[in-house]
Structure 1
Amino acid sequence: MRAVEITQAGGPEVLQLCERPMPEAGHGDVVIKVAYAGVNRPDALQRAGSYAPPPTASDLPGLEAAGEIVAIGAGVSEYAVGDLVCALLPGGGYAEFVATPAAHCLPVPNGMGLKEAACLPETYFTVFSNVFQRGGLKAGERFLVHGGSSGIGTTAIQLAKLFGARVFTTAGSAEKCEACVALGAEKAINYREADFVEIVNALGGADLILDMVGGDYLPRNVKALANDGRLVQIAFLQGPKVELNFAQLMMRRLTITGSTLRPQSDLAKARIAEALKEQVWPLLDAGRLGPVMDSEFDLADAAAAHTRMESSGHIGKIVLKVGAV
């Protein structure tokens, strides 16, 4: 099969087409003929050499895809050959075929194409588990998500709004801020022109913040939290180390937590999938939310897709077109 591999740690140019053996379906696994694969920040981190895949995962990048099941392993009863699914992957999405646990697959929502479905797993697993399960967001609470125009951000805005929260976000341009408001954000703050801490505090402070920036955003996030507020960290684009006054956590009863999805157990991911199928997939089936699409690249142009993502000019999701289903 054709695939895109990381030839060495480095920039987008190290992504190169190659030929690899087709994967096999182990116990509890399915093999998917990939139509589209999502492109995500962790792919770029892996390419740069700073996010190694788990020992049992494929070394190929790609953490989400959509396509047709072409093989099933022993112990799989919930899916059959020919089913169209989207799936969270341990790796290997930048290829014509990929194996993943059946429990990490979800049906393609009603009326949705495979291109859009390929954009669901990584962001929806991440947002739902961190905002609602770990962060405990409730209706009526004030929620701030940084990077509102990203795949994570556009998903978080829509889900939080549908679940009854007041949504605030940050983005880096007027165009991106407008897109965030159109998705349901009550207030979109251009971080290049205004201080989100001052604005969010004027609105009462955030009960929950979802952040992937890190760096000097950490102490600023703490200042922007309301009493009893929670900060959930899912990435550190500006670095994980900073000086922080932890006395504020005690005085104002704050909580700082975080997670990363890929290293979690298969069982933990399966439980997130079950919750998504029960609580979120009916909303997707009804067309009440969906992925915001930025651009599409051919599999052979994976390097250009990474360049687009790392330019931060995109709004929503970037996908690779891998094959026809």
Structure 2
Amino acid sequence: MTDTVACSVIVPTYDRAELLRHTLESLTRQSVGRDAFEVLVVDDGSRDDTRQLVAGYEDRLDLRYFFQEDEGYRVAKARNTGIAHARGPVSVFVDSGVILHSGALAAHLAAHGEADGPIAVCGYVFCFNEGNEDGELIARSIDYADPDASIRGFDEQRRWLDIREEFYERYGEDLGALTAPWLMYWTCNVSASTAQLREVGMFDEEYRSWGAEDIDVAYRLHLAGARFVLRRDASSIHCPHPKSFEDNMRTAAANYEYFAAKFDTPIAHLVPPHHFFDIEDIIRERGLRDIAPPRPVTAPVAR
């Protein structure tokens, strides 16, 4: 294990060993090489063979494993554990079951290297669905031995594109020109400055159910001056898995209300009642602007 790395890849997981396997396999294929990055797998109390699976990659990746007891949905705390222990100046967040293109980490690092200040990078995610629609067909269509070929094929066929394409077509790909670019910062494949993440307080651990913990930290990064960037070449595939859109929206609704009350800005109050893709239009119609950020949440200390 080297003392310094270019980036730290933080992967929270919970009872998803087979999905995690696909993610770790994709990390072994990265063009930047093993010495350029570390992988921090943070296990939110899994009861399957996640620990054994991770151990099988310790000779192929600069990898560390952290376990926290199962006390409910604590993905925010899991990501904070990764940030607190990260050795890289850039933190890349990848969810279990996200298969990175072999050039994805290189693209994230290039974006940060080219920037003249702190940025938050949104990678591209093929095959993401809200209720596992087309799940079986997607699973059969992925070439797990050659995900680069699958990504190339999906792109050429315009098939299972990132669901944020509607947003990009409406507003363009220059996220820095938007008032609320943070709405597209979904942590299945994104990156940010490790130092700035720590400065803004990292993820808010009050989020204890699905939804909004990512846009919360993104909003604070935005208010702290981070410029948001879309990198299509930081591409990936989101492996299908069982989930309920209705259940997710039910838990997210309370989180959106918490988000609005916490920041208490006119823009934050748009989040609970409106679709994310419509908020930029409303901001423009009303001429809204951001105000100074609230006091950040307390950042955990690495142990």
One fold, TM greater than 0.5?
no
User: Given the two structures, how large is their TM-score scaled by the length of structure 1?
Assistant: 0.26
Q: Relative to total residues, which structure has the larger helix share, 1 or 2?
A: 2
Larger Rg: 1
Q: Relative to total residues, which structure has the larger strand share, 1 or 2?
A: 1
Greater relative contact order: 1 or 2 (C-alpha under 8 angstroms, separation 6 or more)?
2
